[in-house]
Structure 1
């Protein structure tokens, strides 16, 4: 087992449903944003999308249908932010070996040192190169589809998975933060009755999407958006759909029956608004969870679902305290191929110019290899921004291994809040200072062409 106990506990706690509250967390660890949000479930198709809706006021069936229809029209060309979380703390020093740094030697990393002769050239740098398994990352970067931040984080880094991830999710170093950085943006621009505007592909809502005002949603695995019943075809199928819709028009004072009928109405209304099937998705994705979820994300965007912000957890355990050399190459290869397939899919669908993907992890790893052939929690890590409209290249300096922080960790040269502020201002024309605490004090990066 490569991960630490805390990372396992973090995953267990965050699998709890936010609308029902979360299990007790160890003293000093923050509650995930979104704790306590109310939720309801909608069944969107007999073999389709089982949607869990979080937050906002109770959605009336008519208002829900009208809101989704209006949002679909208004969001046709609206920019989308997709957040991809690489859980566990990616080892940026392994992903981007600092081959010219005098401290980067086999004595620093006896089993994890990467011979420069086997690394891949990094466009725009001679100080760093790509890990041999990062071919997909390299190709995206070479094509100008990927901007790299080689040392991102925040001062006085917290080495807790819980806490550091929480900071990134709420967009502030605030352990008491209750809304996500994307959720606050949705509270400003979102529709009252469009829960899919903030969409998590997964069983539970991403805390980065937690709102205070508008509804957001999560779904694990959308299949085909349609109502299907085995053995019922043609005219009989159409009659079944009409009956399903009529059932939703009935009212009831019974709290269970009334809610069930309202969900029938919601589902039927959304079916009319978004009747195009999702299809099977593009080829080329790896068979891991990230690949599957990104394929579904591209399908949902491809049929015009009115999504403004989306979140995906890769569930690729980069918490490599032991045996990192055995797992890291495969993880980087699979994650890179999933991201490259997603970008290619968006481009093939003709919607890539609308989508900006930010890829992040809660921290980096320590420069020194530990005694178990792994690396421990560090500070400065890596992040990426991907899309057809990004400038590409490298933003922020790699600080080198000569001057580390007081814990012996890589110093961050980019604050994650500076990245968020740049995305909000340049991609969605938002007031970053109203959404990211202290944004006025952070640098900005020119992200777009």
Structure 2
């Protein structure tokens, strides 16, 4: 029997629970969820049905595919996992006395600062970024956050990943929704190259679509991705015992193929290029792999790498210094490597973290969970250096004594979608769920042709269980159309044709009963084809 615990979704403003039981529960639940997502049991992912996509077994419409991506641009997210201390990343020299007084043991001495613009500096252990700053390849956005900051790692990570308001519980990621528009039939007709690759990003919804499919190749350890790139092996979901246990093994292997499906194309790109210089460990090994895949011609446009260890409640000074030194040296090596292949202008890097840290140090020479922090952007595409956003004000704080935010993080997301990935203005608002003012001063501009070629119109569809043996498939047609609704098992075999014919505009429902066709418990895939464009999703039956 399993014991279920409710996660600590929120820690009240001003609470001291960061060091207490709630803080430990929060970390425990996050670790448990990460474990489940690594198995594919949370997101499910796209399914390799047998060794052939369902599309090859059915009437295959024109696939969108990443061949529709018209430029070589890529976006690399650098996740600072644990809550980065913005005040010790970009030091407010303009109010250094207040900063020093609040942090008597962990402030960065003025003699160890590298000046940026007179008002701000960075620690000298970040000197690897000095040339990028001088060459106009680095920008900082200060005071980034959101209204009603949640101080839970778990909940705030979800907010940053989904782009939701703090009181809204969403499970689709901001980039997952973008990819969902690009690949509406992702489950049954996946593209030839992975839409996204994330390393060490488990437990986040960044690349999850509205139905919980993780649309990325996801590995917790970069060594696993190296193994895929070097050896390119697939699990065989067909070579299993002919029994219920075998069915479950087949399912788990099929889920695992969500990662290994792309082994061959990843391996081809990896072996088509080499890194031109040395990288440090940790973040460096992740970025070295990303650089090699980009240089090798992989058509993936979205990457996420992870630098862990920012939950600096104790002994922050050395720990944070090591992390930021690793960031600086890794990013420097990454862009030098890309430049050697004339690819540096095609790649934009952007950091994010679930929250900042408190202004004052604590009794353990660390800092507790805070609110607003800075975001860092890197790349020649920025067309100049600069420090943007509202200056952190250590005197005008929120009710919990934390820095107030001046720039909503979703403004930066929306700007990057429109100005870097070249997504249509109205589609950006649709992806983000509402309008956010675009961030001025980033220096990025849209390419002559879109990075993503999104369908002009999409239909909403979902499945809802109505009993242990019956699931209803719903879809909304914007206009009358020819429609076909089918169900497949995990091996790509059709197990039910629910409807074929013309239907008027509006919401429609098709019922599917597992007992009617004597199906075993497990996962299945439905596919709705509307005038040649297919949409797919997952359904499950229990006995």
TM-score (norm 2): 0.64
Match of 1:37 in 2: 44
Q: 1:136: Cα distance to partner?
A: 2.2
Distance 2:128 2:217 in 1: 31
Distance 1:344 1:190 in 2: 33
Q: 1:410: Cα distance to partner?
A: 1.0
Match of 1:183 in 2: 176
Aligned mate of 2:277, from 249, 264, 283: 283
Task: Give the aligned length.
Answer: 399
Correspondence 1:167-246 to 2 at 5 A: 167-174=159-166, 175-190=168-183, 192=186, 193-194=190-191, 196-202=194-200, 204=202, 206-212=204-210, 215-219=215-219, 220-223=224-227, 225=229
Structure having the larger proportion of residues in helix: 1
SS in 2 for 1:130: strand
TM-score (norm 1): 0.76
Contact residue 128 and residue 328 of structure 2 kept, 8 A: yes
Q: 1:129: Cα distance to partner?
A: 1.2
Contact residue 17 and residue 204 of structure 1 kept, 8 A: no
Q: Aligned in 2, Cα 1:360/1:105: closer, same or farther, shift over 3 Å?
A: closer
Aligned mate of 1:162, from 154, 164, 179: 154
User: Is 1:305 the counterpart of 2:305 in the alignment?
Assistant: no
Q: 1:309: Cα distance to partner?
A: 1.4
Q: Aligned in 2, Cα 1:110/1:280: closer, same or farther, shift over 3 Å?
A: same
Aligned mate of 1:293, from 286, 291, 300: 286
Correspondence 1:42-441 to 2 at 5 A: 59-60=53-54, 62=56, 71=65, 73-75=67-69, 77-101=71-95, 103-104=97-98, 106-122=100-116, 125-174=117-166, 175-190=168-183, 192=186, 193-194=190-191, 196-202=194-200, 204=202, 206-212=204-210, 215-219=215-219, 220-223=224-227, 225=229, 271=264, 275=268, 277-279=271-273, 281-288=275-282, 290-315=283-308, 317-391=309-383, 392-430=385-423, 431-440=427-436
Q: Aligned in 2, Cα 1:75/1:223: closer, same or farther, shift over 3 Å?
A: farther
Q: Which runs of 5+ in 1 are unaligned?
A: 23-34, 45-57, 230-243
Aligned mate of 1:13, from 14, 18, 32: 32
Contact residue 294 and residue 342 of structure 1 kept, 8 A: yes
Q: 1:75: Cα distance to partner?
A: 3.8
Q: Aligned in 2, Cα 1:435/1:105: closer, same or farther, shift over 3 Å?
A: closer
Q: 1:400: Cα distance to partner?
A: 2.2
Distance 1:42 1:147 in 2: 44
Q: 1:10: Cα distance to partner?
A: 5.6
Distance 1:92 1:179 in 2: 27
Distance 2:71 2:209 in 1: 23
Q: 1:43: Cα distance to partner?
A: 13
Distance 1:6 1:127 in 2: 40
Q: Aligned in 2, Cα 1:188/1:169: closer, same or farther, shift over 3 Å?
A: same
**Quick one: higher RCO (CA 8 Å, sep 6+), 1 or 2?**
1
Q: Aligned in 2, Cα 1:9/1:188: closer, same or farther, shift over 3 Å?
A: same
Q: 1:304: Cα distance to partner?
A: 1.7
